């Protein structure tokens, strides 16, 4: 399974770089044993959540779940919700579906694909209860800022997919990116800051603290959460 690759349509600028990390035997076994149950393809087209999960429940979309640890926790803590994760890094996908399979979790599905392509082609309008984008690549250098995922056009794309009252939850540990996110969200049409104008949110209980985040907090590093609701 070492040749597993993410799905994407050709585009000039991407917000990520596909890393070439090798998968462990456990992650490879995760793909072999559990991808048929948990995996979704960009080429399947528009997703019917009720048919896929066999019930009508609030839908949570996580973009860029990394190695999947925090997403796995949320899947277990919120069994009343169905989760769709998007990630391009094969070892992270393999680990998540392997762990989900061991726990016999039924409320998660995964795309290994470009998030923008998935949102455009696979997510129905007004279908999502919550979108989560935690610790996206900040692209520190100014010349690379155009690669940042959180851009006005992307945020408006997400708005179309959210139900009225649904939320976008962003988190970052890079203060300049937090400031950029705040500017983008405060200027976005059809959203309301749930913490009040130009304010960051407290970390909600449903977002687990990652080991990396906890280590950073011990060193005095900040983390900024932003939660905005669709109102139009």
- Please say if 125 is a catalytic residue: no
> What does the mean pLDDT of the chain come to?
93
Residue of 137, 173, 205, 225 marked catalytic:
137
State how beta strands 191-193 and 224-230 pair.
antiparallel
* Cα distances (Å, whole numbers) of residue 32 to 15, 100, 110, 154: 28, 14, 14, 33
Contact indicator for 110, 37 with CB cutoff of 8 Å: no
- 171 pLDDT above the threshold of 70: yes
Q: What CATH number is given to the structural domain containing 89?
A: 3.40.50.150
- Mean pLDDT value of segment 6-25: 71
* Residue range(s) defining the domain that contains residue 112: 40-230
**Hey, is 6 helix, strand or coil?**
coil
- Mean pLDDT value of segment 62-73: 96
Residue 21 placed within a domain: no
- Mean pLDDT value of segment 41-65: 97
Residue 2 placed within a domain: no
Residue 14 placed within a domain: no
Residue 199 placed within a domain: yes
Residue 23 placed within a domain: no
Cα–Cα distance, 78 to 204 (Å, whole number):
13
**Which residues lie across from 192 on neighbouring strands?**
229
Residue 89 placed within a domain: yes
- Half-sphere CA count of 37, side-chain side, radius 13 A: 18
**Which residues lie across from 108 on neighbouring strands?**
83
Contact indicator for 114, 63 with CB cutoff of 8 Å: no
The domain tally of the chain equals 1
- Mean pLDDT value of segment 73-101: 97
Tokens 């992650």 map to which residue?
27
104 — alpha (psi -120 to 50), left (phi > 0) or beta? left
Cα–Cα distance, 111 to 4 (Å, whole number):
12
Residue 33 placed within a domain: no
Looking at residue 16, what is its pLDDT? 57
**Span 187-201, pLDDT tens digits:** 999 999 999 999 999
- Mean pLDDT value of segment 205-214: 89
Residue 124 placed within a domain: yes
**Span 134-168, pLDDT tens digits:** 999 998 777 768 889 999 999 999 999 999 999 99
Looking at residue 58, what is its pLDDT? 98
Cα–Cα distance, 79 to 56 (Å, whole number):
13
Cα–Cα distance, 186 to 126 (Å, whole number):
21
- 1 pLDDT above the threshold of 50: no
pTM of the model: 0.93
Task: Give φ, ψ of 201 to 5 degrees.
Answer: -95, 155
């Amino acid at each position: 399974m070492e040749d597993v690759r993410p799905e994407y349509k050709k585009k000039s600028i991407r917000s990520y770089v596909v890393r070439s990390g090798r998968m462990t035997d456990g992650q490879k076994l995760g793909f072999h044993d559990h991808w048929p149950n948990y995996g979704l393809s960009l080429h399947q087209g528009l997703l019917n959540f009720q048919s896929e999960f066999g019930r009508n429940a609030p839908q949570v979309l996580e973009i860029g779940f990394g190695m999947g640890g925090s997403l796995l926790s949320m899947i277990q803590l919120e069994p009343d919700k169905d989760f769709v994760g998007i990630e391009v890094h094969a070892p992270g996908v393999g680990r998540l579906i392997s762990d989900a399979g061991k726990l016999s979790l039924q409320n998660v599905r995964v795309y290994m694909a470009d998030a923008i392509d998935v949102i455009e082609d696979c997510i129905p309008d007004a279908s999502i209860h919550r979108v989560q984008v935690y610790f996206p690549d900040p692209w520190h250098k100014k010349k690379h800022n155009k690669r940042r995922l959180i851009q006005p056009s992307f945020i408006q794309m997400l708005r179309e997919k959210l139900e009225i009252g649904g939320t976008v939850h962003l988190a970052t540990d890079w203060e300049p990116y937090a400031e950029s996110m705040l500017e983008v969200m405060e200027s976005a049409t059809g959203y309301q800051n749930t913490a009040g104008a130009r304010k960051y949110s407290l970390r909600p209980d449903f977002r687990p603290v990652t080991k990396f985040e906890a280590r950073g907090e011990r060193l005095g590093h900040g983390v900024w959460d932003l939660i905005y609701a669709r109102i139009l």
